[in-house]
Chain A
Amino acid sequence: MILQALQALFTPVSLLAVFIGTTSGVIVGGMPGLTATMAVALLIPITFSLEPLTGLLLMGGVYCGAMYGGSIPAILLRTPGTPAAVATAIEGYPMTQQGRGGLALKVSVIASFTGGIFSTFILLLIAPVLAVFALTFGPPEYFLLAILGLAGIVSMADDENSLVKALISGLIGLVLAVVGTDPISGMLRYTMGLTDLFDGVAFMPALIGMFSIAQMLELTGSKSVVADRSQVTKIKREPLPRGISKPIWLGSLIGTVIGILPGEGATIAAFVSYNVARRRSKNPKTFGKGNPEGIAAAEAGNNGCVGGSLVPTLTLGIPGNSVAAALLGGLLIHGLIPGPELFTTYGVMTYAFILSLFVANVIFLILGLFMAPYFARISLTPPSLLIPVVCLFSLLGSYAMNNSILDIFVALLFGIAAIILQKAGFSLGALILGLILGPIAETGFAQALIIGHGSYSIFFSRPQALVLWAIILMLLAAPLYQIYRASPN
């Protein structure tokens, strides 16, 4: 069956579909506000007139390409193309400012490629077994998974942000995530009567505001994005940094596992991978100041999510994240019902689709390596031209997610607030983490308490929960001990 799938894949039409899909994905992912979910959803009606396999290959290519593409503006302009690229921006943009944007792009594409290939292998080899394991996760485990992500806040405390301020920032993120509809009762909370807030504070405009708008406002006082312009032309010669393989493999593994869990997205995978890499790094103090290990872990994490999220999608019909949900819509339109039949009756098509993800990863690797030096030159554009253009794309991206003018104001509000909070020593990374994980934490916590009839023992009663507690404690112990040691009193 695999041989037949390879035959179906290696035809000119199929390869062209993967190429077009991947290239479009890189472009879409590179534009703020245009996400992989949106691109796949837009493709569904187009694929209807195509052969089912060609349509699937197009969608798979877009998914892979967009995950990588989001890192390009994140690194060069601190404007994450997709929410999953936020963690990349934290390390990538300082590297661009140091004139090492090309190297950051190179690290990003290699990490993305490794994460993508690793997770596709997992999808190919052990998809059904892993899908069943993922289904054993209930609300207590999802709550603990959110706590696992939030534990990263502790490691965000550094010279600029004290531990208490980092925790306050994370809590503010969690508080902002409470705005909207109560997940249990459906009651509206803190929406001030604005219908645009019924679904909560839109995540993408907040991100665009905090990272892109804030950065563009900061840049108004600079003559150039890059401190040393001569460095930008030297990027072709700079070798990959040492010790980069460890965070890449770590991110690939974490991304794949998180991707398999239904509802968990690439953004969370990228942040968890980033935080774990930061803790395990020999130079944790250089994180946030342009450490390539952070880019490697985050990009391997979000691309690892691609194959992981397809595990429950293809085997159980439960999408791993929103892009996988859009892809599931594409499968169903072509009459492909997820489940065992997909791997038997329609095995040739399914395996050709899975194998096409390998090809898509190779395509964006070549594209990324070849284009990195040219992409990096964007940072040489004079700020007087660059800033208004990036601001326009940022505002457009904020609007495009929900067609909401309010979201443009949200982006501006978050932009100016981010600058003031950062100057006062609060951690934007922790705030983002709270905003991302808030809904998962609240829903998991509330549902678990309802299931447990109000008893907190439900968070300790199952082996999966105990394993997660152990991991959380392990992750917290080292940074807390370091902070205690570093404290003068």
Chain B
Amino acid sequence: MITKRLTELIILSGFLVLAVLLYRSTASYSPMVQGSTAMYVRFLGVTLGLLCALEMLLWFRKRGQAEVEKLMIAKDPRRFWGLFFLLLLYAVAVSTLGFYPTSALFLPLGMLLLGARKPLIIGLTSAGVLLFIYLVFAKLLEVPLPEGTLF
């Protein structure tokens, strides 16, 4: 079981590694910035490392006292992760299919996933949003929308 406390420890360990890598990376900075920006980055690395070490120390000291609380990321994991993967899929597909086809698939699928069941409302909302984006973003404000390689 992944608990909140374990997640804290994993995150803190990750940040500690990041702090060490950050500090070490400044050796490859140009000599002209060793006394300026490299110094700043080293300061960030050292401070981050010390604070993470301190928080981990506090974590171990409180280990016996703190109550075990399961890490609950989502109240409804099916919808939460479903939407997240749909968003990831959107980001991957948009550069191939283009903005309008991807969005025309994303909106109704997202609504269905989240519990909408009336086809008319789903269709009208999706069409209305895309029309609004076309008129306001594309035509009026000439905001560039993601273009696909297929269309």
What residues of chain A have their CB less than 8 Å away from a CB belonging to chain B? 28, 34, 38-39, 42, 162, 164-165, 167-168, 171-172, 174-175, 178, 182-185, 187, 189-190, 213, 216-218, 220-222, 382-385, 387-389, 391-392, 395-396, 399-400, 403, 405, 408-409, 412, 416, 419-421, 423-426, 441-442, 445-447, 449-450, 454
Expressed in whole angstroms, the Cα–Cα distance for A168 and B55 within the complex equals: 9
- Residue in chain B with minimal CB distance to A388: B110
- The SS class assigned to the B binding surface is helix
Check if B37 sits within 8 Å of A391, measured CB to CB. Answer: no
Chain A residues contacting B121 (CB-CB under 8 Å) are 385
What residues of chain B have their CB less than 8 Å away from a CB belonging to chain A? 4, 7-8, 11-12, 15, 18, 22, 25, 29-30, 32-33, 35-37, 39-41, 44, 47-48, 51-52, 54-55, 58, 71-76, 79-80, 83-84, 87-88, 90-91, 94-95, 99, 103, 106-107, 110-111, 114-116, 121-122, 125, 129, 133, 137, 141-146
Check if B94 sits within 8 Å of A421, measured CB to CB. Answer: no
Check if B91 sits within 8 Å of A405, measured CB to CB. Answer: yes
Check if A164 sits within 8 Å of B41, measured CB to CB. Answer: no
CB distance from A483 to the nearest CB of B (A): 14
Check if B115 sits within 8 Å of A384, measured CB to CB. Answer: yes
Check if A388 sits within 8 Å of B36, measured CB to CB. Answer: no
CB distance from B100 to the nearest CB of A (A): 11
Check if A449 sits within 8 Å of B39, measured CB to CB. Answer: yes
Residue in contact with B4 in the complex, picked from A28, A384, A424, A442, CB distance below 8 Å: A424
Chain B residues contacting A167 (CB-CB under 8 Å) are 51
- The SS class assigned to the A binding surface is helix
Check if B91 sits within 8 Å of A412, measured CB to CB. Answer: yes
Expressed in whole angstroms, the Cα–Cα distance for A179 and B130 within the complex equals: 35
Chain B residues contacting A399 (CB-CB under 8 Å) are 145-146
Residue in contact with B114 in the complex, picked from A184, A388, A396, A409, CB distance below 8 Å: A388
Expressed in whole angstroms, the Cα–Cα distance for A458 and B72 within the complex equals: 49
Chain A residues contacting B32 (CB-CB under 8 Å) are 184-185
Chain B residues contacting A447 (CB-CB under 8 Å) are 36
Chain A residues contacting B106 (CB-CB under 8 Å) are 388, 392
CB distance from A170 to the nearest CB of B (A): 10
With A220-B83, A405-B94, A412-B91 given, is the CB distance from A423 to B37 under 8 Å? no
Chain B residues contacting A42 (CB-CB under 8 Å) are 141-142
Q: A171-B47, A217-B84, A424-B7 are in contact. List 19 more A-B contacts (CB 8 A).
A: A175-B22, A184-B32, A185-B29, A185-B33, A213-B87, A218-B74, A220-B75, A221-B76, A395-B91, A399-B145, A400-B145, A405-B91, A412-B91, A423-B7, A423-B72, A424-B8, A445-B39, A446-B40, A447-B36
Check if A221 sits within 8 Å of B44, measured CB to CB. Answer: no
* 7 closest A-B pairs by CB: A221-B75, A388-B110, A446-B36, A384-B114, A384-B116, A220-B79, A221-B76
A-B contact pairs, 18 of them (CB 8 A): A39-B141, A168-B12, A168-B48, A171-B48, A175-B44, A175-B48, A182-B33, A185-B29, A189-B25, A216-B83, A221-B75, A385-B122, A385-B125, A389-B107, A396-B99, A412-B87, A445-B40, A446-B40
Check if A426 sits within 8 Å of B40, measured CB to CB. Answer: no
With A34-B141, A384-B114 given, is the CB distance from A217 to B83 under 8 Å? yes
Expressed in whole angstroms, the Cα–Cα distance for A165 and B54 within the complex equals: 10
CB distance from B80 to the nearest CB of A (A): 5
Chain A residues contacting B115 (CB-CB under 8 Å) are 384
Check if A221 sits within 8 Å of B80, measured CB to CB. Answer: yes
Check if A182 sits within 8 Å of B74, measured CB to CB. Answer: no
Expressed in whole angstroms, the Cα–Cα distance for A131 and B90 within the complex equals: 48
- Residue in chain A with minimal CB distance to B82: A220
With A164-B58, A168-B52, A424-B7 given, is the CB distance from A419 to B73 under 8 Å? yes
Expressed in whole angstroms, the Cα–Cα distance for A39 and B12 within the complex equals: 41
CB distance from B101 to the nearest CB of A (A): 13
Expressed in whole angstroms, the Cα–Cα distance for A310 and B75 within the complex equals: 47
Check if A405 sits within 8 Å of B146, measured CB to CB. Answer: yes
Check if A220 sits within 8 Å of B94, measured CB to CB. Answer: no
Check if A171 sits within 8 Å of B51, measured CB to CB. Answer: yes
Check if A445 sits within 8 Å of B36, measured CB to CB. Answer: yes
Chain B residues contacting A171 (CB-CB under 8 Å) are 44, 47-48, 51
CB distance from B82 to the nearest CB of A (A): 8
Expressed in whole angstroms, the Cα–Cα distance for A454 and B48 within the complex equals: 23
Expressed in whole angstroms, the Cα–Cα distance for A387 and B115 within the complex equals: 11
Chain B residues contacting A387 (CB-CB under 8 Å) are 83, 110, 114
- Residue in chain A with minimal CB distance to B80: A220
Chain A residues contacting B15 (CB-CB under 8 Å) are 168, 172
Chain B residues contacting A178 (CB-CB under 8 Å) are 22, 41, 44
Chain A residues contacting B94 (CB-CB under 8 Å) are 395, 405, 408
CB distance from A407 to the nearest CB of B (A): 10
Check if B30 sits within 8 Å of A185, measured CB to CB. Answer: yes
